[in-house]
Structure 1
Amino acid sequence: MNEHDSETIVRGAALEGLDDYHSIMDIFRRSVERYSSNIAFSCMGKSLSYRELDRLSADFAAWLQNETSLQPGDRIAIQLPNLLQFPVAVFGAIRAGLVVVNTNPLYTEREMAHQFKDSGAKAILILANMADKLEKVLDQTEIEHVVVTEIGDLHDFPKRPLINFVVKYIKKMVPRYSLKSAVSFRDALKRGGGVDHQDITRELDDIAALQYTGGTTGLAKGTMLTHRNLVANMLQAKAAIGSGLKEGSEIVVAPLPVYHIYTFTVNCLFMLEGGNHSVLITNPRDLDNFVKELRATPFTGFVGLNTLFNALCNRDDFKALDFSRLHLTISGGMALTGAVARRWEEVTGCPVAEGYGLTETSPIVSFNPVDAIQLGTIGKPVAGTELRLCDAEGKTPPPGEPGELCVRGPQVMKGYWNRDDETARAIDADGFFHTGDIAVIQDDGYVRIVDRKKDMILVSGFNVYPNEIEDVVAAHPGVVESCAVGVPDATNGEVIKLFVVARDSSLTAEELRSWCKKELTAYKVPKLVEFRDELPKTNVGKVLRRQLRDEEANDKGAGAD
């Protein structure tokens, strides 16, 4: 730090209560004791009380301890969409002392293989819908124990077999697979229910989860989030958001993926700690059924992001809902636009409070006070958090000037899994994590993000790293070189545009997109493709990504005139 840094650090209030916990399981146990008969989670019309969540997670823990070779500290991948099986498996795994590896169920075989190999996962719980992909990559991993679940597995009879039949045979959403040693999730729970388990004592500095994020090399890297990180962020969320919540009484809609750190912390920890009810939405892209579910739910809170707010507010059936109970709307994952925020408040009568965070910060860094929202900002630092700005030389810029936002606090990750070099680049000697986002800190302590230092593209709240796309495209025999950039988009925040130098004119944009679809999750596939004779480069031959991005922005600006 330079000599002026002590004057330019912005601090949140003191964080209280962290020493009251030893691990995430302390949060879980206290909630079960206080709110045993309350609904903890519901999904597709089926609810689990805190007591039932306790029993089922204990059954899963017992199966893990008695019928597998897994030991405390081993990694278990959980590859599920928003289903009741997710919290059951997460808390069961943590009770058994395991480290949870949250895995995107939309991943391709290539992405799955990398994450499982990199994490050293020895077990997996996977939805049957993508088990065929696991079959193709299983021998490339260290996975020894496979548990397969179907969408309706935690529903009651006769709805359970009906849901599973429709998904498998009518909608044909479950490709054929053969995993001979696999155990069904229901069998694991049944067998675990017949034996005892022992909750493993974990300490705050033990790793609770590996949460994967993109890397500079194009390969995702595991963020080591400890029990301390996650417990601290739960307490920080409570201090920032919880003052207006009535414990044990809130019904909060959770449409964003629970494997994502945003929903993982807010719904599986923060809302759970207060004895509240989280409504898991399995497929928020199916807006017809989403709105039908909302119509049947007297929700008091909504956790979403800009693109979803925008899509819902454009629907007449959504605008016709009863919003009389809604008093909390939280936005995160991507920038909230003023137009969408105002439209949401106009439709629902509830203002949107925007927060900011990253996977590396568990995720919440700052939040807009519900009673003092400043649109266009990411709010103020949450309790126990320090923010500072630094320029390219690591010095503090003059007041009011932009700089890279750096964060220090108990929610900052332990580091990147098996990547000490990247950890050292990300966290400086003073313990500040360098976010890569360019910000301005206002005189009143509110923070505005003005640009991104990183080349990351943000598509509907999902991080997309250009290097990963370019690595996949480079393997196409018809491509000489390429460059991926983010282009502003009213619906998705940004979409991906790919600039390509082809070997001959026969290569088409659709051919490239089809190539990418085989290797990349759908939201990483370029929406736009432009062929060029050459790409702009520096004197040493590095493609000028920012120039291409600026050209695109200028073209859009000119078109708008």
Structure 2
Amino acid sequence: MSDDPRAVRPSIAAMTESAAERFAGRVAVVDGEVRLSYAALYEEARSFGAALVADGVEPGDRVGIWAPNGREWIVALLGLYQAGAVLVPVNTRFKGREAAEVLSRAEVKVLVTVTDFLGNDYVQMLAGADVPLPDLRTIVVARGRPSGAGVAWDAFLARATEDGLAEVDRRRAALGPDDTSDILFTSGTTGAPKGVVMTHGRTMGVATDWVAMTGLSEDDRYVMVNPYFHMFGFKAGILACLSAGAAMYPQAVLDVDAVLALVAGERATVLPGAPTMYHAILEHPGRGRYDLSSLRVAVTGSADIPVELIRRIRDELPFSVIVAGYGLTEAGTASSTAPDGDPGTIATTVGRARPGFEIRVVDGSGAQAAPDAIGEIVLRGPTVMAGYLGDPDATAEVLSAGGWLRTGDLGRVDERGCLRVVGRSKDMFIVGGFNTYPAEIEAMLLEHPGVREAAVVAVPDERLGQVGVAFVVPRPPAPSAAEVIAWCRERMANYKVPRFVELIDELPLTASGKVRKTALRERAAGRATT
């Protein structure tokens, strides 16, 4: 097979086999005291696949993973593909009922989970969820104390037989780029989660393009804070490393001291993450104790990357490559800044369309928006989803026959052809007839020396229709709410100025680092002036 990491291979299972051939003796996974080579990782994956075969899993069956980042997650992921199965990851912050509903909707047959993450026993949480799971027949406990309803990890792998290994080899050879690879459920921050169906070809496209975007190589050591149940951790993480031969360092939670110590001890080179991770690192009082000079690649992505955050990453951390990207579960990474982009472009835009992608900004009628005007971002490209699981109506609402995806995000394209995301269409609010975009106000608030983080939502107002409420995480010496409002009045158009400011210790976040604005709207509801 070709040594080019971007070479087309028929499936993720074939890409795993190729990685074992190309990078056999190189380190693939470092998890605590465990170090696995690419050859050893492949053999563990084959054994897991053979155990699934012994369990009765057929090609196309769904296998769920509800567990934090770790070696077992990687082995289970690559192993289920050896058996021709489909991945259904589950958010580690879900409660039992939320997880059970995802498993039920996806008709998951086998679940890999844990019994001791952040004090939670997921097996017991499922048992108490009161949601029927008629398809779920086997629970594999990857880590934690034994559970009466589960099979221990080692015991499950011991089910692999020579016949099972021969069968996974046959199934791997039969898999093609149009076979379903994964069903990721959206975060549900703006509604009920939807299952996004992807194929092997689409998912590998996300991974290999990420390699091209960052220059990831077999010499890189990648610290993985982004959760694997999310596209960023799974496709731009595990599969990108698999494609390039990079070493993976899974982190179950964001422990800034542990991450910084790992970077220094292992000479890590790649540290992508949500904006909140970089905030935490930049604000860490002991950052100067660690040698971070090996770091070379930073990648962050969000609908509302703060301008000031990008500036601080560039000025205060040693990264030589800083990329701001725009992606979503339904499409993968659609745009990015160039690795050698100028600071202004990286700080204020998410760059240009990735190879094979087309991006447009359209007005309410669906026509191309005027230059530099704000409109909805629509796009099409090689990694756009096949559709939503079991929901043709929802699919038709966002995905046209011509392959154009309505993202629900608002943006503008500047004179250089670079995209700037200004927020979610559902987040936009109207103050006295003026369209107001929370991301724009949040970015301006972060320029205040006493503001560490900020999030803006709207509440009803009798006179103006709606007004903004800003939730601010301060840095000492903390400003008062009145001081923040006065500062905003000097720098923003009046309709943008938050009418209320509340100082809080931390913003509510999803496990993937997004601000849970539904929770903030509920908290702000009492301030409505109607």
Q: Same fold (TM over 0.5)?
A: yes
The residue type paired with residue 523 of structure 2 is: V
- Alignment of structure 1 residues 150-229 onto 2, 5 Å: 150-151=142-143, 178-179=148-149, 182-192=150-160, 196-197=164-165, 198-199=168-169, 200=171, 201-214=174-187, 218-229=191-202
How far off is 1:532 after superposition?
4.3
Closer, same or farther: CA 150–19 of 1 in aligned 2, 3 Å = closer
How far off is 1:136 after superposition?
2.1
How far off is 1:525 after superposition?
8.2
SS in structure 1 at match of 2:102? helix
Q: Distance between the aligned counterparts of 1:46 and 1:294, measured in 2?
A: 17
How far off is 1:323 after superposition?
2.5
Does residue 377 of structure 2 align to residue 409 of structure 1?
no
- Alignment of structure 1 residues 295-374 onto 2, 5 Å: 295-333=264-302, 335-350=304-319, 352-361=322-331, 363-373=332-342, 374=345
The residue type paired with residue 41 of structure 1 is: V
Q: Of the candidates 340, 359, 362, which is equivalent to residue 387 of structure 1?
A: 359
How far off is 1:26 after superposition?
2.4
- The C-alpha deviation readout for 1:170-200, integer Å capped at 9, x for no partner, is xxxxxx9541xx2111111122166532231
The range that moved more, 136-145 or 93-102, is 136-145
Does residue 100 of structure 2 align to residue 108 of structure 1?
no
Closer, same or farther: CA 526–217 of 1 in aligned 2, 3 Å = closer
The residue type paired with residue 258 of structure 1 is: Y
Residue ranges of structure 2 left out of the alignment (5+ in a row): 117-121, 429-437, 443-454, 458-465, 476-509
Q: Of the candidates 228, 238, 241, which is equivalent to residue 211 of structure 2?
A: 238
Closer, same or farther: CA 204–489 of 1 in aligned 2, 3 Å = farther
Q: Distance between the aligned counterparts of 2:98 and 2:339, measured in 1?
A: 38
- 2:435 aligned partner: none
Closer, same or farther: CA 488–413 of 1 in aligned 2, 3 Å = farther
Closer, same or farther: CA 25–39 of 1 in aligned 2, 3 Å = same
Q: Distance between the aligned counterparts of 1:238 and 1:296, measured in 2?
A: 24
Q: Distance between the aligned counterparts of 2:226 and 2:124, measured in 1?
A: 25
- The C-alpha deviation readout for 1:273-308, integer Å capped at 9, x for no partner, is 111012111111x33333333332211111112111
How far off is 1:531 after superposition?
5.9
- The C-alpha deviation readout for 1:299-333, integer Å capped at 9, x for no partner, is 11111121111111122332332232221111124
How far off is 1:52 after superposition?
1.3
Q: Distance between the aligned counterparts of 2:190 and 2:336, measured in 1?
A: 31
Q: Of the candidates 509, 526, 539, which is equivalent to residue 519 of structure 2?
A: 526
Q: Distance between the aligned counterparts of 2:200 and 2:252, measured in 1?
A: 27
Contact 2:299 2:324 in 1 (8 A): yes
Q: Distance between the aligned counterparts of 1:95 and 1:531, measured in 2?
A: 50
How far off is 1:337 after superposition?
1.9
Contact 1:147 1:185 in 2 (8 A): no
Q: Of the candidates 125, 128, 132, which is equivalent to residue 133 of structure 1?
A: 125
How far off is 1:71 after superposition?
1.1
Q: Of the candidates 118, 121, 124, which is equivalent to residue 105 of structure 2?
A: 118
SS in structure 1 at match of 2:291? coil
- The C-alpha deviation readout for 1:450-507, integer Å capped at 9, x for no partner, is 2321349999xxxx9x9xxxxxxxxxxxxxxxx9x99554589xxxxxxxxxxxxxxx
SS in structure 1 at match of 2:249? strand
Q: Of the candidates 16, 25, 45, which is equivalent to residue 57 of structure 1?
A: 45
Indicate the RMSD between aligned Cα atoms, in angstroms: 3.1
- 2:392 aligned partner: 420
- 2:56 aligned partner: 69
Contact 1:81 1:282 in 2 (8 A): yes
Q: Distance between the aligned counterparts of 2:80 and 2:130, measured in 1?
A: 21
- 1:44 aligned partner: 32
The residue type paired with residue 137 of structure 2 is: H
Residue ranges of structure 1 left out of the alignment (5+ in a row): 1-15, 152-163, 169-175, 467-482, 493-516, 537-561
Contact 2:303 2:422 in 1 (8 A): no
The range that moved more, 328-337 or 52-61, is 328-337
- The C-alpha deviation readout for 1:122-151, integer Å capped at 9, x for no partner, is 111111232111222476113333233354
| Amino-acid identity (%) | 25
Q: Distance between the aligned counterparts of 1:318 and 1:117, measured in 2?
A: 44
Does residue 98 of structure 2 align to residue 99 of structure 1?
no
Q: Of the candidates 24, 49, 53, which is equivalent to residue 12 of structure 2?
A: 24
Contact 1:121 1:142 in 2 (8 A): no
Q: Distance between the aligned counterparts of 2:186 and 2:17, measured in 1?
A: 30
Closer, same or farther: CA 434–491 of 1 in aligned 2, 3 Å = farther
How far off is 1:446 after superposition?
1.1
Q: Distance between the aligned counterparts of 1:522 and 1:343, measured in 2?
A: 20
SS in structure 2 at match of 1:140? coil
The residue type paired with residue 227 of structure 1 is: H
Closer, same or farther: CA 210–139 of 1 in aligned 2, 3 Å = same
The residue type paired with residue 24 of structure 1 is: I
Q: Distance between the aligned counterparts of 2:527 and 2:287, measured in 1?
A: 47
How far off is 1:344 after superposition?
2.2
- 2:141 aligned partner: 149
Closer, same or farther: CA 196–177 of 1 in aligned 2, 3 Å = closer
Contact 1:300 1:328 in 2 (8 A): yes
How far off is 1:406 after superposition?
0.7
The residue type paired with residue 366 of structure 2 is: G
How far off is 1:357 after superposition?
0.3
- 1:551 aligned partner: none
Contact 1:355 1:368 in 2 (8 A): yes
Q: Distance between the aligned counterparts of 2:229 and 2:423, measured in 1?
A: 27
- 1:445 aligned partner: 417
The residue type paired with residue 192 of structure 1 is: A
How far off is 1:91 after superposition?
0.8
Q: Distance between the aligned counterparts of 1:437 and 1:29, measured in 2?
A: 38
Normalization by structure 1: what TM-score?
0.72
Q: Distance between the aligned counterparts of 1:368 and 1:39, measured in 2?
A: 30
- The C-alpha deviation readout for 1:385-409, integer Å capped at 9, x for no partner, is 1111211111111222121111101
Contact 2:303 2:424 in 1 (8 A): no
SS in structure 1 at match of 2:412? strand
* Greater length-normalized contact order (CA 8 Å, ≥ 6 residues apart): 1
Closer, same or farther: CA 48–304 of 1 in aligned 2, 3 Å = same
SS in structure 2 at match of 1:443? coil
Closer, same or farther: CA 433–491 of 1 in aligned 2, 3 Å = farther
Contact 1:135 1:177 in 2 (8 A): no
Q: Distance between the aligned counterparts of 2:474 and 2:20, measured in 1?
A: 40
SS in structure 2 at match of 1:394? coil
- Alignment of structure 1 residues 266-305 onto 2, 5 Å: 266-284=236-254, 286-305=255-274
SS in structure 2 at match of 1:196? helix
How far off is 1:221 after superposition?
1.2
